[in-house]
Structure 1
Amino acid sequence: MKKRVTSLLASTLLITSVLAGCSGSGGNNNEGQASPSSSATASATSGGDTNTGTASGGAASNDKTFTIRAGAWFLDERAHQVAFRKAVEEGYKKLYPNATIQWDVTLGATYFDKLKAQFASDTAPDVTFYQTLDYAKAGNLMDLSGEPWVSRMSDAAKKDPSLVYEGKLYGAPGSGSIGGGVWYNKDLFDKMGIEPPKTTDEFLAASEKIKAAGKTPIALGFKDLWTANMFLMAWLQSYTFPSDADYGKKLYDGTVKFDDAVIQKVYQQVETMKSKGYFNKNALSIDWPQSAQLFASGEAAMIVQGPWMPASNVENIEKGGFEKFQIGFFPFMDDAGKSSIVFNSGTGLGINAKTKLVQESKDLVSLMVSPEIMGPWLEGEGGLPMFTDVNVQFADPVMDTVKQYLDGGLTLPYGLSSFMPASSANAMVDVLTNVVSGVKFNPADLQAAQDAMNKDKATVVLPAS
């Protein structure tokens, strides 16, 4: 996964990812972290490697010969990704018969280092998927506020912190994603007579019952630190935002400190769960795919992950030859049963501000986000639409449950990590992993997160209110 300084801030959930989806958070710190991918890096290229056409906006010459480059980190060889590329290529040929799309793909978080270097050297793709607004802030992306497809965007998309900077829109939304929650073995819960918990006490009681039955209540794969961040931030957001909508801004302003009693409460709950043996013993030494195997095998009853979990679980069950079961979902909650879910794209589809293929790039983006192409791709991603005219038929009924929580509870386009620098989130995760390792929680340990905020506050790009 990505280098530690940027790998921890998933809200959610990148939304698009190498395995099935992506999470995002505050638009400035979460590159690649909601993208649960392998560490392998690969390139996929179609066509040549030079741009031969020019355009300055307006109507482009449809019979011109040119190569347009499209960048991404998640377009692997899964069937729906292959189908996406094919549909885009065929659709673009109808617009520009002599054009070639060069797919500039580097799988995983390595892509983001590469993209930064490409922008710095003026060699970035004409059209590219991205995850943070650092590129817009640096002037690398074109303002797309006036594009026709903007009117099709949902209200959530128009507030997405990965897309909007200083009142301007710099990217089209990708796959709508929740920032993380608790997925559970519904068959196992039904067999044990456990209802999806609504309060923290019920959550702990369910865990105790599962442990008594000889199962691991919750599978953790904190070797991948972005999963630890997802776990922590998803729970903190349900303890904070439902009671105080301005909690994140107060944390940023300094009127709330990182050792606040509400934040301490979450760490105390984790400490309780660790002491009672509710986590797998190797929680810090296995990665997220290994934790997903524990879940798929039926050895663990719950796992905290993003929206890619249903599709990944089906695949893991098939490959492992495990007994099939229906997956369920519920969000983290606080003591009173309040909860919040982050819902955003976390992934933008932007245009290089220095491209020589202006209209051609706009047409490519417009094609990629058309209902005919976006709908089938979202079905494969397990993602929710962020365009009002895109319909997705989910094969797994758990996604209907996710939508019910989104429709019936507090849904936010940003997570708590949107209001802090990456260094503060890293420090908070350090405290979490120490607690999971068995170290007693000490509120004084959160001072490191506060110090990081004081030092790196200027790097935060606050989400639009």
Structure 2
Amino acid sequence: MHSKNILRSAVVAALLAAGAAQAGTLTIESWRTDDKALWEEVLIPAFQKKYPGVTVKFAPTAPTEYDSSLNARLAGGTAGDLITCRPFDKSLDLYKKGQLEKLNGKKGLENFPASAKVAWETDDGKDTFCEPIASVIHGFLYNKKIFKELGLNEPKTTDEFFKVMDKVKASGKYTPLALGTNDQWEASQIVYTSIGAPYWHGEEGRKALINGKAKFTDAGFTEPFEVEAKYGPYLAKGYSAQTYADTQNLFASGKAAIVAAGSWDIGYYNQNAQGFELGAFPPPVPKAGDKCYISDHTDLGMGVNTKSKNKEDAYKFVEWLGSQEFADLYTNKVTGFFSLSSHTIAVKDPVAKEFLDWRKSCASTIRVNAQILNRGTPNMENELWNINSQVINGKMSPKDAAARLQSGLAKWYKPAQ
């Protein structure tokens, strides 16, 4: 009798456990460690209000370790149900390996324009494997107090930009431009692909590189290097050893007039700017009357792990990511990240609203190397980090920088040969 009771208890326990699993538990993989509180305190509770039976756990990995550790977990079958997707090749590789579900026809996707989906589609545009979430916009932030004190206006052209920095330098009181090259990525992702967009005409130039109709040695791609090469005298002493965190501290402390920034920086400066208001301006155009272009980069999406044991709830979550509710919450709670959906969003933060409003007067493009061009050796992303840092440091000429990029691309990419 005793053994039967034990058996009956075991069966009941097993059934209860199975029931609990079916009630729905989802784990989200992400590199956005700084968003943990937001997901846990705002976004997930909003989702659970609509789907009360589903438990969602946000389990991020440090950004520098995310790609390798996610790959290991996917290969070992231990990855979460929902995968936060990098744009383009890294996620496309996961899809090609059969690790991300095809999302074609899934609810929620209809709320995104084609331009938002391109970062998570196959090259032929036939399959979508991640739901778009948000983009980041690149430009410049400035210290309104310093600008007022020195009688400066927001620069519209590259010449005006240097004249503003000349006046700041002449005052002897502030660093004109907060920018360091120690970490390298800012020189490429915040500077070159941003200030360069007006020179290569955004999408027109980016697509021309992909189809072999343009080369990095063309003026549109070389001239941004020439602009960067003039930055040195306007940067803080020892800028080649200055990290991204150092740059943030320099600008937040009120010791620099301008900082080359991504919209994701707005939240940091809102909290840390010491006694001044932020202003913002888009990348200056080559000359007066030229069209404005911004780097409006598709930054993150969300896919479903093919080995998820709870795909039904995972699809519910993906559908919710395409809702007006999520677009409003994410855009206003993650300051400087802008929903890619076609919903109308009232942005509350004034500086974030300014960045977003650039879309009305400037043409949007994505980072120049994001699609297809990173697939060979030498890897263009790594090359751009290194080359742009060397140009700003005065260690490589603009002409040599362009030649090295083009010859590196031609080594493996037929249209560039």
Where on the TM-score scale, by shorter chain, does this alignment land: which range?
0.7 to 0.9
Deviations, residues 37-87 of structure 1 (Å, cap 9, x unaligned):
xxxxxxxxxxxxxxx86xxxxxxx999345332211214466534323541
Q: CA offset at residue 403 of structure 1?
A: 2.7
Deviations, residues 241-297 of structure 1 (Å, cap 9, x unaligned):
25xx532233234443322233222222222232xx111222221221210111111
Q: Which residue of 2 aligns with 1:270?
A: 228
Q: Which residue of 2 aligns with 1:387?
A: 341
Q: CA offset at residue 417 of structure 1?
A: 1.4
Alignment partners' CA distance in 1, 2:353 and 2:328: 16
- What amino acid is aligned across from residue 341 of structure 2 in structure 1? F
Superposition TM-score, scaled by structure 2 size: 0.83
Q: Does 1:237 align with 2:190?
A: no
SS at 1:452's partner residue? helix
- What amino acid is aligned across from residue 245 of structure 2 in structure 1? P
Superposition TM-score, scaled by structure 1 size: 0.75
- Pair 1:282–1:456, CA change in 2 (3 A): farther
Q: Which residue of 2 aligns with 1:18?
A: none
Answer whether contact 1:152 1:387 (CA < 8 A) is retained: yes
Alignment of 1:126-145 (within 5 A): 126-132=81-87, 133-145=92-104
Alignment partners' CA distance in 2, 1:82 and 1:324: 31
- Pair 1:71–1:445, CA change in 2 (3 A): closer
Q: 1:113 aligned to 56, 59, 68, which one?
A: 68
- Pair 1:155–1:394, CA change in 2 (3 A): farther
Alignment partners' CA distance in 1, 2:355 and 2:398: 35
Q: Which residue of 2 aligns with 1:87?
A: 45
Deviations, residues 110-148 of structure 1 (Å, cap 9, x unaligned):
111111122223332211111033222333211112112
- What amino acid is aligned across from residue 185 of structure 1 in structure 2? N
- Pair 1:433–1:393, CA change in 2 (3 A): closer
SS at 1:284's partner residue? helix
Answer whether contact 1:130 1:347 (CA < 8 A) is retained: yes
Answer whether contact 1:220 1:303 (CA < 8 A) is retained: yes
Alignment of 1:34-433 (within 5 A): 64-76=22-34, 79-84=37-42, 86-87=44-45, 90-91=48-49, 94=52, 96=53, 99-132=54-87, 133-158=92-117, 160-162=118-120, 165-167=123-125, 168-178=127-137, 180-214=138-172, 215-230=174-189, 231-241=191-201, 245-274=203-232, 277-317=233-273, 322-336=274-288, 337-382=290-335, 383-389=337-343, 391-395=345-349, 397-412=350-365, 414-419=366-371, 420-421=373-374, 423-433=379-389
Alignment partners' CA distance in 1, 2:386 and 2:275: 36
Alignment partners' CA distance in 1, 2:128 and 2:398: 42
Q: CA offset at residue 316 of structure 1?
A: 1.8
- Aligned residue pair count: 386
Alignment partners' CA distance in 1, 2:212 and 2:114: 30
Answer whether contact 1:341 1:411 (CA < 8 A) is retained: yes
Q: CA offset at residue 218 of structure 1?
A: 0.8
Percent of residue pairs bearing the same amino acid type: 23
- What amino acid is aligned across from residue 78 of structure 2 in structure 1? T
Q: Greater CA deviation, 64-73 or 137-146?
A: 64-73
Alignment partners' CA distance in 1, 2:322 and 2:354: 26
Alignment partners' CA distance in 2, 1:202 and 1:144: 47
Deviations, residues 363-392 of structure 1 (Å, cap 9, x unaligned):
122234433344223212112222234634
Answer whether contact 1:196 1:330 (CA < 8 A) is retained: no
In the alignment, structure 2 segments of 5+ residues that lack a partner are 1-16
Alignment partners' CA distance in 2, 1:136 and 1:406: 31
SS at 1:313's partner residue? helix
- CA RMSD after TM alignment: 2.8
- Pair 1:186–1:205, CA change in 2 (3 A): same
Larger radius of gyration: 2
Deviations, residues 315-356 of structure 1 (Å, cap 9, x unaligned):
223xxxx22323323224223443311324321110012323
Q: CA offset at residue 401 of structure 1?
A: 2.0
- Pair 1:344–1:289, CA change in 2 (3 A): same
- Pair 1:408–1:394, CA change in 2 (3 A): same
SS at 1:64's partner residue? helix
Alignment partners' CA distance in 1, 2:205 and 2:69: 35
Alignment partners' CA distance in 2, 1:183 and 1:166: 38
Alignment partners' CA distance in 1, 2:361 and 2:380: 31
- Pair 1:163–1:223, CA change in 2 (3 A): farther
- Pair 1:64–1:357, CA change in 2 (3 A): closer
Alignment partners' CA distance in 1, 2:234 and 2:76: 50
Q: Which has the higher helix share?
A: 2
Answer whether contact 2:29 2:60 (CA < 8 A) is retained: yes
Alignment partners' CA distance in 2, 1:140 and 1:427: 29
SS at 1:415's partner residue? coil
- What amino acid is aligned across from residue 348 of structure 1 in structure 2? G
